Amino acid sequence: MPKPIKIVLAVLIGFVVWFVVATVANLLIRTSLSGYAEAESATRFTLPMLLARLAVGGLSSVAAGFACALFVRANLAAVTILAVALVFFFLPVHYSLWTQFPLWYHAVFLISLAPLVLVGARVARLNACGARGAA
């Protein structure tokens, strides 16, 4: 498969993984955190709910970076494109929600997004090196 096509596919896989993990984790939060479903519909979250949402975003970002890197065998270009694309994707989303969440929430989410994607890629790379070393 040509390298550019593989990079595009890796970025798409990263996006899909981000949203699948976020959706599943959000469903788990709805069922396990008392009052979350009601708060979600009104966008009135408590501090623990906001922290849970940030944890979901963090987990999703790490998983996306991991999946992207795994697909392209840790190609840093693909992972970097994914990280930047996610930030650009979420900037307008957070802008539209600006008044519904505190400033620190937007800052933590947006600032951590790209680094956590890179962390996921690093974990994938370390796993690949460990698997090769054990063989």
CA gap 16, 70 in Å, rounded: 14
pLDDT digits (tens, 9 = 90+) for 8-30: 999 999 999 999 999 999 999 99
- Per-residue pLDDT, averaged over 24-40, amounts to 94
SS3 content of the chain, % helix, strand, coil (to 5): 85, 0, 15
**Considering the chain, what percentage of its residues have pLDDT values greater than 90?**
84
- Torsion angle of the four alpha carbons 78, 81, 83, 84, in this order, in degrees rounded to the nearest 10: 170
What is the pTM for the complete model shown? 0.91
Residue that wins the pLDDT comparison between 3 and 24 = 24
